[in-house]
Amino acid sequence: MEGHIVRTFDGDILNLRLQALRMGGFVIDHVRRSVIALTTNDDDGARSVVARTADVSAYAKTIDEEIIALIARRQPVATDLRAALAVGRVAVNLERIGFCARRISRLAIELHLLAGDAPLAHFYHDVKKMSRLATGMLRDALDCFDRVDLAGAEAVVERDAELDVEFQMALRDLLTYVLEDQRLLRNTLQTVFVIKALERVGDLARDIATDTHRLVRAEVSGAAAPSGAERELPAAESQRSP
The pLDDT value recorded for residue 79 is 77
DSSP letters for 113-181: HH-TT--GGGGHHHHHHHHHHHHHHHHHHHHHHHHT-HHHHHHHHHHHHHHHHHHHHHHHHHHHHHHH-
Q: Tell me, what's the pLDDT at 115? A: 64
Integer angstrom CA distances of residue 179 from 149, 172, 173, 188, 195: 46, 11, 10, 10, 18
Q: Is the pLDDT of residue 224 over 60?
A: no
Looking at mean pLDDT, say which of 129-138, 165-174, 183-192 comes out highest: 129-138
Tell me the CATH number at 18: 1.20.58.220
Model-level pTM greater than 0.75?
yes
Question: Is 100 a residue whose pLDDT tops 50?
Answer: yes
Q: What is the pLDDT of residue 133?
A: 96
Band of pLDDT at residue 82, cut at 50, 70 and 90: confident
Domain count across the chain:
1
Look at 53 and 82; give whichever has higher pLDDT: 53
Q: Which amino acid is at 69?
A: A
Beta carbons of 130 and 167 less than 8 angstroms apart: yes
pLDDT of 217 reads 60
> For residue 7, what pLDDT is reported?
65
**DSSP 8-state class, residue 77:** -
Q: Beta-carbon neighbour count of residue 166 at 10 Å? A: 20
* pLDDT on residue 208: 95
DSSP code, position 76: -
pLDDT in tens, 144-176: 998 888 889 999 999 999 999 999 999 998 888
69-83, 117-131, 159-173, 219-233 — most confident range: 159-173
More confident residue, 237 or 108: 108
Question: Which string of b and e fits 208-235 if b means at least 16 CB within 10 Å?
Answer: bbbbbbbbbebeeeeeebeeeebeebee
H helix and E strand count, the chain: 6, 0
User: What is the chain's mean pLDDT, rounded?
Assistant: 83
Q: Which domain holds residue 14?
A: 2-239
More confidently predicted of 176 and 242: 176
Is residue 119 exposed (0-12), middle (13-18) or buried (19+ Cβ within 10 Å)? exposed
pLDDT of residue 232: 45
What whole-number percentage of the chain has pLDDT above 70? 83
